[in-house]
Structure 1
Amino acid sequence: MIHILITDDQTLMRDALQTIISLEEDMKVVGMAKDGEQALELVGSLQPDLILMDIQMPGMTGIECTKRIKQLYPDTVVLILTTFSEDEYIVDALACGATGFLLKDMPGDRLIHAIRDAVSGHYMLPSVIAAKLAARISRVSQTTHTRLEAGRRKTDNPAFTTREKSIILLLLEGKTNRQIADLLIMSEGTVKNYVSSIYNKIGTNDRTLAIIALKEWLHNEPSAH
């Protein structure tokens, strides 16, 4: 028997879902909540196998409620009920532990199949939402690639000043900012500013990556030797 908790701020929606589910011999609605706060209270006492969770509710949203429930009861399956297919909800809900999305206008028989599949461990993503998610992943991948390429171009031929080149040689010798300041008769603060400028030109604030990039620059820059 699949024990189900329905969470939705609309009474008609809760009642409609309960009616559909009650027709199935292997399912039982053990409780209904009108908002996220009530759902949190009920899930502890009712221990449902699956929660049908509305995404937009007054007070605590379905996404926040899902996050808290999964933290407290990680084995509870949560399916997000939504009339929204905006991609900003998709990643947030999945990241909070939801097993998938169900559109509220889907046919009753598909809802029942989706519940069974979700309890069996399958992720549920209607095609319209899957397409949105794929598009978002593609945009993120494209943006990341563009940034990496920009960073790579930035490090190909960085334009270092004579002073920066002197500091780079000392950095590659393993000298600290204090030692560089003493050797070049500068304040440590001034050296830090130069080092920040050098790091900015090669596109990283990570010292290890910076040293690797600077060694490569030195290898390709005879005038720096």
Structure 2
Amino acid sequence: MPEPIRVLLVDDQELIRVGFRMVLEAETDIAVVGEANDGTSAIAQAGALHPDIVLMDIRMPGLDGIAATEAIVRRHPSTRVLVLTTFDLDEYAFGAIRAGASGFLLKDAQRHELTSAVRAVHRGDAALSPRITRMLLEHVSPGLGSPASDAVVDPATGLIATLTDRERDVFLAIGRGQTNAEIAETLYVSESTVKTHVGRVLAKLGARDRIHAVILAHRLHYVGDAATPEQAPPAL
């Protein structure tokens, strides 16, 4: 049996932490390993507990969730941050995405939405509603820098040219917001194969995570009808 997903809960309201803990601990594949009530404590707990996922409140007294997210992502690249917000178009939420969060979730999310988001981020997908992707791009793109940004811009001579045809198909699918399962179904390959391709795409483009790759795809105008990948015939 695989190890459970290790989750750190960060929120300045104890009742919210208790509620999330009750929901998550009811799942056999998720374990809550710790709690924190502010950003400073969250950073310390992340270093001590090495969680897979941090459920991070944004607005907290003292050090807020944006600063804490940036510090945790920088110090612990393998830890993913899923930020909690009251409004899905909250400026603070976009700030957290810019700081390195892998998605955000509304505090009034349903039980299945919470558990699905935790699992999605853990397997490498982004917990992000498709309906707010455009707003995300408008807010995040201007402030999102990457050592590879200049090299990526020219698809003919930049890093896009280093992608194989299949990796370009996967990059396009990522840009369209597809999950690994959806990409696997579209390209008629296994999810494990997709996961391998996604890892290679992120490495070659210098993208820190899936959301960064989505933003790059749109900044390059790579997502559009002209970039539709060839469809493979159904498996016999």
Regarding TM over 0.5, the answer is yes
CA contact under 8 A between 1:5 and 1:50: conserved in structure 2? Answer: yes
Paired with 2:78 and 2:63, the residues of 1 have a C-alpha distance of 21
Matched residue SS, 1:13: helix
Task: Give the paired residue count.
Answer: 140
Cα offset for 1:86? 3.6
Code of the aligned partner of 1:12: L
Looking at secondary structure, tell me which structure has more helix per residue: 1
Matched residue SS, 2:61: coil
Paired with 1:128 and 1:104, the residues of 2 have a C-alpha distance of 18
Structure 2: gaps spanning 5 or more residues: 144-236
Aligned to 1:132: 135
Aligned to 1:18: 21
Paired with 1:63 and 1:137, the residues of 2 have a C-alpha distance of 14
1:103 aligns with 2:97: no
Deviations 1:71-105 (A, max 9, x none): 11011010001103345334421221100000011
Aligned to 1:72: 75
Task: Report the structure number with the largest CA radius of gyration.
Answer: 1
1:53 aligns with 2:52: no
Cα distance change on mapping 1:44 and 1:88 into 2, 3 Å: same
Cα distance change on mapping 1:25 and 1:137 into 2, 3 Å: closer
Matched residue SS, 2:42: helix
Aligned to 1:93: 96
TM value normalised by structure 1: 0.57
The RMSD of aligned alpha carbons is: 2.2
Aligned to 2:123: 120
Paired with 2:40 and 2:64, the residues of 1 have a C-alpha distance of 9
1:39 aligns with 2:22: no
Cα offset for 1:6? 0.1
Deviations 1:15-74 (A, max 9, x none): 000000010001100001011111111111111110000011001110110000111101
Paired with 2:97 and 2:15, the residues of 1 have a C-alpha distance of 26
Matched residue SS, 1:105: coil
Cα offset for 1:136? 4.4
TM value normalised by structure 2: 0.55
Cα distance change on mapping 1:129 and 1:60 into 2, 3 Å: farther
Q: Percent of aligned pairs with the same residue?
A: 42
Aligned to 1:156: none
Paired with 1:97 and 1:139, the residues of 2 have a C-alpha distance of 15
Cα distance change on mapping 1:133 and 1:87 into 2, 3 Å: farther
Cα offset for 1:139? 10
Paired with 2:120 and 2:31, the residues of 1 have a C-alpha distance of 16
Paired with 2:23 and 2:137, the residues of 1 have a C-alpha distance of 31
